Structure 1
Amino acid sequence: MHYVCPVCKVENKHELTFSIQEYVCKSCSNLISTDKNIVRQVVKKPIENVVLETGQKGIIDGVEYNVVGIVIRKYGSHTFWREYYLKDTKGEDAFLSESDGHWVLLHSINKEDVNTKSGNTIFAEYKSRRYRRYETTECTIHAAAGFFEDQLDFGIATYKEYVNGFQMISVEKSKGSIQCFFGEHISKYKVKRAFNISNLPNYSGIGIVQPFYVNFKQALNIMAIAALMVCLVQLYVVVSRTNKTIFSQEVNFADVKDKELVSKSFELSGGSAPLKVAVSSDVDNSWANVGLGLVNERTNEITFASKDIEQYHGYEDGESWSEGNKNEEFNFCGVAPGKYHFLVSAERQEPLQTFAVSSFLSSDGQLSLSRDMYGTINVTNNNTATTTAFGDSKLIKKDTVSELGRLVYQTLGKADIDSLLNANASLGISDSVLSDNKSVKIKAEWFPVSFWNFGIILVLIIVFVGACYFGRRMFERSKWFNSSNSPYTYS
Structure 2
Amino acid sequence: MDHICPVCQTNNNDLAIEFEVKEFICSHCDNLIEPGKATPKKLVKKPVENVVLDVGQKAMLYGTEYWVINIVVKKYGSDTFWREYALKDKAGNNVFLSESDGHWVFLHELKTAFKESKFYAEFDGRKYRWYETTPCSTYAATGFFEEEANFSLASYKEYVNGTEMISREQYGNSSQYFKGIHISRSEIKKAFGLKNLPPSFGIGLVQPFPYNIRQCTNIMGITAILICLLQLYVVTSRSNQTIFEQTINFADVNDKEMVSQSFTLSGGSAPLKVHAFSAVDNSWASVGISLVNEKTNEVTYASKDIEKYSGFEDGESWTEGSQSTEFNICGVPPGNYHFLVSAEKEGGIVDPFKAGYRPQNGGFSVIQNETGAYFMQNDKDKTVVSYPDKEALEKEILTKTGLQNNLQDTKKLDSILIHMVPDYGYPGKYEEHASVTIKATWLPVSFWNFGIVLVCLIVFTILSYIARRIFETSKWKNSSNSPYPTS
Report the TM-score when normalising by structure 2. Answer: 0.74
Q: CA deviation at 1:39?
A: 1.9
Q: 1:154 to 1:236 in 2, by over 3 A?
A: same
Q: CA deviation at 1:41?
A: 0.8
Farther off after superposition, 342-351 or 54-63 = 342-351
Instruction: Establish whether residue 446 from structure 1 lines up as the match of residue 442 from structure 2.
Output: yes
Q: Aligned equivalents of 1:96 and 1:143: distance in 2?
A: 16
Q: Aligned equivalents of 1:325 and 1:181: distance in 2?
A: 81
Q: Can you list the C-alpha shifts for 1:90-118, whole angstroms capped at 9, x where unaligned?
A: 22211101111111111111453x2222x
Farther off after superposition, 242-251 or 174-183 = 242-251
Q: Aligned equivalents of 1:147 and 1:244: distance in 2?
A: 84
Q: 1:109 to 1:470 in 2, by over 3 A?
A: same
Instruction: Establish whether residue 162 from structure 1 lines up as the match of residue 163 from structure 2.
Output: no
**Partner AA of 2:456 in structure 1:** L
Instruction: Establish whether residue 74 from structure 1 lines up as the match of residue 75 from structure 2.
Output: yes
**Partner AA of 1:468 in structure 2:** S
Q: Of Structure 1 and Structure 2, which has the larger fraction of its residues in strand?
A: 1
**Partner AA of 1:170 in structure 2:** S
Q: Aligned equivalents of 1:454 and 1:90: distance in 2?
A: 59
- Determine helix, strand or coil for the equivalent of 2:480: coil
* 8 A Cα contact 2:237 2:268, kept in partner: no
Q: Aligned equivalents of 2:19 and 2:297: distance in 1?
A: 82
Q: CA deviation at 1:312?
A: 5.8
- Determine helix, strand or coil for the equivalent of 1:224: helix
Question: Which position in structure 1 is the counterpart of 2:178?
Answer: 181
Q: Please give the residue correspondences for 1:333-348 in structure 2 after superposition, counting only pairs within 5 Å.
A: 333-335=330-332, 337-348=334-345
Question: Which position in structure 2 is the counterpart of 1:485?
Answer: 481
**Partner AA of 1:6 in structure 2:** P
Q: CA deviation at 1:257?
A: 5.3
Q: Give the alignment's Cα RMSD to 1 decimal.
A: 3.2
**Partner AA of 2:460 in structure 1:** F
Q: Aligned equivalents of 2:324 and 2:176: distance in 1?
A: 81
Question: Which position in structure 2 is the counterpart of 1:304?
Answer: 301
Farther off after superposition, 78-87 or 298-307 = 298-307
Q: Can you list the C-alpha shifts for 1:290-346, whole angstroms capped at 9, x where unaligned?
A: 211223445655432101234567898999987655553323345455433222233
Question: Which position in structure 2 is the counterpart of 1:43?
Answer: 44
Q: 1:35 to 1:180 in 2, by over 3 A?
A: farther
Question: Which position in structure 1 is the counterpart of 2:211?
Answer: 214
* 8 A Cα contact 1:21 1:35, kept in partner: no
Q: CA deviation at 1:82?
A: 0.6
Instruction: Establish whether residue 12 from structure 1 lines up as the match of residue 12 from structure 2.
Output: yes
* 8 A Cα contact 2:239 2:266, kept in partner: no
1:292 equivalent among 289, 292, 296: 289
Q: 1:130 to 1:298 in 2, by over 3 A?
A: closer
* 8 A Cα contact 1:51 1:199, kept in partner: no
Instruction: Establish whether residue 475 from structure 1 lines up as the match of residue 471 from structure 2.
Output: yes
Q: CA deviation at 1:248?
A: 2.0
1:230 equivalent among 219, 227, 244: 227
User: Runs of 4+ in structure 1 displaced over 6 angstroms?
Assistant: 313-322
Instruction: Establish whether residue 460 from structure 1 lines up as the match of residue 456 from structure 2.
Output: yes
Q: Please give the residue correspondences for 1:78-477 in structure 2 after superposition, counting only pairs within 5 Å.
A: 78-112=79-113, 114-117=114-117, 120=118, 122-253=119-250, 256=253, 259-269=256-266, 274-281=271-278, 287-297=284-294, 302-310=299-307, 324=321, 327-335=324-332, 337-349=334-346, 439-446=435-442, 449-477=445-473
Q: 1:298 to 1:168 in 2, by over 3 A?
A: closer
Q: Can you list the C-alpha shifts for 1:371-409, whole angstroms capped at 9, x where unaligned?
A: xxxxxxxxxxxxxxxxxxxxxxxxxxxxxxxxxxxxxxx
Question: Which position in structure 2 is the counterpart of 1:379?
Answer: none
Q: 1:310 to 1:193 in 2, by over 3 A?
A: same
Report the TM-score when normalising by structure 1. Answer: 0.74
Q: Aligned equivalents of 1:180 and 1:319: distance in 2?
A: 94
**Partner AA of 1:77 in structure 2:** S
Q: Aligned equivalents of 1:203 and 1:315: distance in 2?
A: 75
- Structure 2 stretches lacking a partner, 5+ long: 349-424
Question: Which position in structure 1 is the counterpart of 2:372?
Answer: none
% identical equivalent positions: 58
Q: CA deviation at 1:180?
A: 1.5
Q: 1:225 to 1:296 in 2, by over 3 A?
A: closer
Q: CA deviation at 1:470?
A: 1.1
* 8 A Cα contact 2:234 2:268, kept in partner: no
Q: Aligned equivalents of 2:132 and 2:248: distance in 1?
A: 81
- Determine helix, strand or coil for the equivalent of 2:181: strand
Figure out how many residues of one structure are paired with residues of the other and give that number: 408
Farther off after superposition, 340-349 or 89-98 = 340-349
Q: CA deviation at 1:284?
A: 6.2
Farther off after superposition, 140-149 or 472-481 = 472-481
Q: Aligned equivalents of 2:259 and 2:347: distance in 1?
A: 24
Q: Aligned equivalents of 1:65 and 1:281: distance in 2?
A: 85
- Structure 1 stretches lacking a partner, 5+ long: 352-428
Q: CA deviation at 1:278?
A: 2.8
Question: Which position in structure 2 is the counterpart of 1:384?
Answer: none
Q: 1:298 to 1:106 in 2, by over 3 A?
A: closer
Q: CA deviation at 1:43?
A: 0.3
Q: Aligned equivalents of 2:471 and 2:97: distance in 1?
A: 24
Q: Aligned equivalents of 1:102 and 1:183: distance in 2?
A: 13
Farther off after superposition, 94-103 or 241-250 = 241-250
**Partner AA of 2:115 in structure 1:** N
Q: 1:329 to 1:2 in 2, by over 3 A?
A: same
Q: Aligned equivalents of 1:104 and 1:295: distance in 2?
A: 62
Q: Aligned equivalents of 1:317 and 1:478: distance in 2?
A: 71
- Determine helix, strand or coil for the equivalent of 1:11: coil
- Determine helix, strand or coil for the equivalent of 2:41: strand
* 8 A Cα contact 2:271 2:332, kept in partner: yes
Q: 1:63 to 1:290 in 2, by over 3 A?
A: same
Q: Aligned equivalents of 1:489 and 1:316: distance in 2?
A: 71
Q: CA deviation at 1:147?
A: 1.0
- Determine helix, strand or coil for the equivalent of 2:12: strand
* 8 A Cα contact 1:294 1:302, kept in partner: yes
Q: CA deviation at 1:191?
A: 0.3
Q: Can you list the C-alpha shifts for 1:237-271, whole angstroms capped at 9, x where unaligned?
A: 33333333211234455655555433222123567
Q: Aligned equivalents of 1:148 and 1:15: distance in 2?
A: 15
**Partner AA of 1:339 in structure 2:** N
Q: Aligned equivalents of 1:33 and 1:88: distance in 2?
A: 23
* 8 A Cα contact 2:70 2:144, kept in partner: yes
Q: 1:15 to 1:257 in 2, by over 3 A?
A: closer
* 8 A Cα contact 1:66 1:86, kept in partner: yes
* 8 A Cα contact 2:157 2:169, kept in partner: yes
**Partner AA of 1:4 in structure 2:** I
